[in-house]
């Protein structure tokens, strides 16, 4: 008996080598073997099972395996192999005492083998929604629009250049107007990149930190995928601490069904008094990429809590002296904002093949040939905002221009906006998904809005919400010609309700030529809209602001052109807009409507230059506004990174050492109204031309990205005008640490 146990134990020690030899020869890391969808239960042709080496240990193993009848496995499926060796493990374990360490080892080996088979077995995706070249990709990421459930595939950026900018608005634009702390209200410099829902102005400055149904990322992955990230002033005093977190995990339940969880936090104690900020987002994504059924759904929760200081009282403490920022007097001492947004959405469509007159219709895959798609999109969004303050000093009263409409010393202003929207649509594919006329789409939608803000009449009638209905029709079309031309057009018209007469009409065309492999791509866009101002712009009753307006519809016409030359690492674009009846907030932060059309021109460029180990990455923006009182914009802004890049450990660690600089020409930078939660056009004090620099070390350690920055490293040079917004300062000098780890 002891001899038999020894032989079994020796065989077990030799088990790892032959099992390791019988592994899948897989494709590169980002893909899995190209297995035809109908052969998921058999060993793929592109894989090979290798025989184990015939050494003394494996010979004992082979004899035992032959006894079990599971040595010849070339014609067996992966799952048969698993069950065969599972039976071997069971019989081996039964021959040993219950308390044996060998038996525990056998069970562990069985689990490890089962897990290795599960990981190595291809999870085949078969769907009409993605090109078949992406079926084998290990992780696919996309966003979906919710008029016709069209998806746009995106690259997953896990390299250290893409993770260098931790503030989200620096990833989207050259620079931004913000309140100096991460997570606070922010607005990109580029006027054409301002984000808005058009429903509640107070939420718009916080959209840059969170997601909407149109930009929430969805995933399909063969193996679980996770991202962990931390950015912050790890070594700073608690009173100045800044911390940002990013956690993403996603995995497929079936090859077509995926679930993801995303959590992000942006927060800081702030450089000044009373500007602690806590901005958090929790999002769940669910999608199904079936052969006929396509679904994108999710839930987004955003919560913002911020103590408001209204900025510093006197800017001379920044421009003319060097004092601790915490000692500088601010405009508000007991004011705070709480905002929340909850969105639940689903968009789904079902494909119906319509190849009735084709004799070879059975040979066509779903998604090819003539098709019809029926679909539905639904969304429920709840927005809340509560502002409170206690005004005691003369400076605090002056900040609000001594306006007190409801109470002489305290405010408790609240807003609520709820939206319920449903759309039903039909898509027709007359010929093929890559035809010059690929899709003809039409749909109908209904939107129900409810707004709550205090009205003095509610002293008698009681608190109630105002309801607004809106019904609309929309349509679209798209097509392409090989890889050279792609186009799309869409339109929408509101035929009933509060937005009666509103419309939107636009289109886009892409032209590509290929003098070299990456090609040159030119994109042209045009869009015109006519829209009703939202109800809060017409009527509002706050303690410090009160208005009743009768604004007309806003006419907005835009045209743009962008060129991309990947081989030269160059992107450039020009955008033009002509807006009649533009809505803005004046120097007293009162909502106004411009009496003359305003034209805006923006020219942007993004270029990466490399000379040996020296890299110079530049993003530039030039803008002109026909009316600086209505639309104040920086004339020129530059975001520039100059660094040396070199390899520390071959195939393991690369490093960048350099300086990142922000340069902005002088302009009337906007102020911020805490009670309204909007940026307004101040005319008291122009921001001088200035620059702001960060020194950094940026590293790529295999898949992990790390950086260390020394912010505001040239403090006070060339001047001390580094304001993020009117009377709000940018972060002062200090060390910042960041790590991004995808796995």
Do the domain assignments include residue 135?
Answer: no
Same domain, yes or no, for 170 and 96? Answer: no
Q: Is residue 125 part of a domain?
A: no
pLDDT digits (tens, 9 = 90+) for 235-248: 666 667 788 999 99
Q: For 474-493, what is the mean pLDDT? A: 93
> Do 592 and 707 belong to one domain?
yes
Look at residue 126 and tell me if it is in a domain.
no
**494 with 470: CB under 8 angstroms?**
yes
pLDDT for 38: 38
Please report, in angstroms and rounded to a whole number, the separation of the first and last CA atoms in the chain: 47
Residue 268, token pair as written in the block: 């800081």
Q: Say if residue 107 is in the same domain as residue 151.
A: no
Q: pLDDT above 70 covers what percent of the chain?
A: 81
Most confident of 20-34, 276-290, 350-364: 276-290
**In the predicted model, is pLDDT for residue 210 greater than 90?**
yes
The whole-number average pLDDT for the span 5-31 is 37
Mean pLDDT over residues 165-193, rounded? Answer: 92
Does the residue 128 lie in any domain?
no
Find the range with the poorest average confidence among 160-169, 555-564, 581-590: 160-169
Band of residue 22 on the pLDDT scale cut at 50, 70, 90: very low
Whether residues 628 and 505 share a domain: the answer is: yes
Same domain, 444 and 490: yes
Helix 2-13 crosses helix 101-120 at what angle (to 10 degrees)?
Answer: 30
pLDDT for 341 equals: 95
- In the prediction, which pLDDT does 336 show? 93
Measuring CA to CA, which residue among 465, 545, 538 is closest to residue 499? 538
- Residues 47 and 111 reside in one and the same domain: yes
Q: Is the pLDDT of residue 610 over 60?
A: yes
Edge-first strand listing for the sheet containing 218-221: 151-154, 139-144, 218-221
Whether the per-residue pLDDT at 330 is higher than 50: the answer is yes
- Looking at residue 79, its pLDDT comes to 40
Domain match, 181 and 53 both:
no
Q: Mean pLDDT throughout 548-566? A: 95
Residue 127 inside a domain? The answer is: no
Q: Are residues 584 and 658 in the same domain?
A: yes
Band (571; pLDDT cuts 50, 70, 90): very high
CA dist., res. 279 & res. 169, Å (int) = 14
Q: Is residue 87 predicted with pLDDT exceeding 60? A: no
Per residue in 649-698, pLDDT tens?
Answer: 888 888 999 999 999 998 999 999 999 999 999 988 888 888 999 999 99
CATH of residue 260's domain is: 2.40.170.20
Domain holding 701, by residue range, is 142-742
Indicate the range of 310-324, 340-354, 652-666 predicted with least confidence: 310-324
Contact 584, 594 (CB under 8 A): yes
Residues 570 and 567: their CA atoms lie apart, in Å, by 8
Longest dimension (CA), the chain: 100
To 5 degrees, how large is the angle CA 78–CA 81–CA 85?
Answer: 145
Residue 241, in any domain of the structure: yes
Is the model's pLDDT at 283 over the cut of 60? Answer: yes
Residues 95 and 166 placed together within one structural domain of the fold: no
Whether 478 and 442 map to the same domain: the answer is yes
The CA distance from 153 to 164, in Å, is 23
pLDDT given at position 51: 43
Which of 499-508, 680-689, 698-707 has maximum average pLDDT?
Answer: 499-508
Number of structural domains in the chain = 2
Of 547, 552, 498, 502, the closest CA to residue 529 belongs to 502
* For residue 718, cis peptide bond before it (omega within 30 degrees of 0): yes
Position 314 scores a pLDDT of: 82
Residue 204 and residue 60 share a domain: no
Q: What pLDDT score was predicted for residue 343? A: 96
Check whether 300 has a pLDDT greater than 90. yes
Distances, alpha carbon 209 to alpha carbons 48, 103, 204, 277, 738, in Å: 48, 53, 10, 13, 18
Domain boundary among 120, 154, 184: 120
The answer as to whether 189 is a domain residue is yes
- pTM here is 0.81
pLDDT band, residue 410 (cuts 50/70/90) = very high
Band (pLDDT 50/70/90 cuts) for residue 35 is very low
Which among 59, 85, 120 is the end of a domain? 120
User: Which value, to the nearest 10 degrees, does the dihedral of the CA atoms of residues 40, 43, 46, 47 take?
Assistant: 130
Same domain, 91 and 200: no
In a domain, 456, yes or no: yes
Task: Supply the mean pLDDT for the chain.
Answer: 83
Question: What pLDDT does 365 receive?
Answer: 62
Which of the four pLDDT bands, split at 50, 70 and 90, describes residue 137?
confident
pLDDT above 80 for 509: yes
């Amino acid at each position: 008996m002891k001899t038999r146990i020894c032989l079994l134990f020796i065989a077990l020690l030799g088990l790892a080598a032959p099992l390791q030899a019988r592994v899948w020869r897989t494709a590169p890391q980002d893909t899995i073997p190209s297995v035809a969808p109908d052969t998921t239960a058999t060993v793929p042709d592109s894989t090979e099972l290798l025989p184990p080496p015939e050494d003394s240990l494996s010979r004992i193993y082979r004899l035992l395996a032959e006894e079990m009848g599971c040595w010849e496995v070339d014609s067996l499926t992966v799952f048969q192999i698993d069950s065969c060796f599972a039976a071997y493990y069971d019989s081996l374990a039964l021959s040993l005492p219950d308390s044996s360490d060998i038996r525990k080892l056998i069970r562990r080996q069985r689990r490890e083998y089962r897990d290795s088979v599960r990981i190595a077995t291809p999870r085949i995706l078969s769907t009409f929604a993605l090109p078949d070249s992406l079926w084998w990709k290990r992780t696919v990421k996309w966003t979906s629009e919710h008029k016709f459930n069209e998806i746009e595939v995106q690259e997953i950026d896990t390299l250290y250049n893409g993770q260098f900018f931790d503030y989200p608005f620096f990833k989207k634009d050259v620079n931004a107007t913000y309140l100096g702390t991460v997570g606070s209200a922010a607005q990109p410099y580029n006027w054409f990149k301002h984000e808005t829902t058009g429903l509640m102005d107070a939420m718009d400055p916080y959209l840059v930190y969170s997601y909407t149904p149109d930009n929430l990322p969805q995933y399909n992955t063969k193996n679980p995928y996770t991202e962990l990230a931390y950015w912050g002033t790890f070594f700073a005093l608690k009173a100045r601490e800044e911390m940002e977190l990013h956690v993403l995990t996603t995995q497929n339940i079936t090859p077509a069904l995926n679930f993801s969880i995303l959590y992000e936090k942006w927060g800081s104690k702030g450089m000044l008094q009373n500007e602690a900020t806590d901005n958090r987002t929790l999002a769940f994504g669910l999608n199904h990429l079936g052969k006929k059924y396509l679904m994108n759904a999710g839930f987004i929760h955003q919560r913002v809590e911020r103590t408001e200081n209204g900025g510093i009282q006197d800017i001379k403490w920044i421009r003319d002296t060097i004092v601790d920022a915490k000692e500088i007097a601010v405009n508000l001492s007991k004011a705070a904002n709480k905002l929340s947004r909850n969105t639940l959405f689903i968009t789904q469509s079902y494909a119906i093949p319509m190849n009735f007159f084709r004799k070879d219709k059975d040979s066509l895959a779903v998604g090819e040939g003539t098709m019809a798609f029926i679909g539905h999109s639904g969304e429920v969004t709840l927005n809340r905002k509560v502002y409170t303050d206690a005004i005691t000093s003369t400076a605090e009263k002056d900040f609000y221009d001594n306006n007190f409409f409801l109470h002489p010393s305290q405010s408790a202003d609240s807003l609520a906006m709820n939206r319920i929207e449903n759309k039903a649509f039909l898509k027709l594919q007359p010929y093929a998904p890559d035809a010059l006329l690929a899709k003809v789409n039409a749909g109908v939608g209904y939107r129900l809005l409810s707004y709550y803000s205090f009205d003095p009449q509610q002293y008698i009638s009681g608190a109630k919400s105002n309801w607004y209905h809106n019904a609309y029709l929309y349509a679209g079309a798209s097509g392409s010609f090989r890889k050279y031309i792609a186009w799309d057009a869409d339109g929408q018209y509101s035929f009933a309700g509060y937005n009666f007469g509103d419309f939107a009409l636009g289109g886009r065309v892409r032209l590509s030529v290929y003098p070299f492999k990456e090609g040159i791509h030119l994109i042209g866009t045009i869009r015109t809209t006519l829209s009703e101002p939202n109800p809060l712009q017409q009527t509002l009753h706050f303690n410090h602001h009160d208005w009743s307006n009768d604004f007309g519809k806003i006419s907005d016409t835009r045209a743009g052109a962008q060129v991309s030359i990947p081989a030269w690492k160059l992107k450039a674009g020009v955008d033009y807009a002509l807006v009649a009846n533009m809505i803005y907030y004046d120097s007293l932060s009162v909502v106004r409507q411009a009496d003359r059309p305003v034209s805006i021109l923006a020219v942007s460029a993004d270029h990466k230059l490399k000379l040996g180990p020296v890299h110079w990455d530049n993003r530039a923006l030039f803008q002109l506004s026909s009316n600086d009182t209505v639309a104040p914009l920086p004339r020129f802004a530059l975001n520039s990174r100059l660094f040396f890049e070199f390899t520390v450990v071959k195939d393991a660690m690369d490093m960048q050492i350099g300086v990142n600089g922000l340069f902005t020409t002088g302009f009337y930078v906007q102020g911020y109204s805490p009670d309204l939660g909007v940026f307004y056009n101040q005319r008291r004090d122009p921001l001088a031309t200035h620059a702001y620099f960060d020194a950094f070390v940026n590293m790529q350690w295999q898949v992990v990205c790390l950086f260390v920055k020394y912010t505001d490293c040239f403090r006070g040079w060339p001047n001390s005008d580094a304001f993020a917004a009117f009377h709000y300062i940018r972060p002062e000098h200090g060390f910042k640490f960041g790590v991004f780890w995808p796995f």
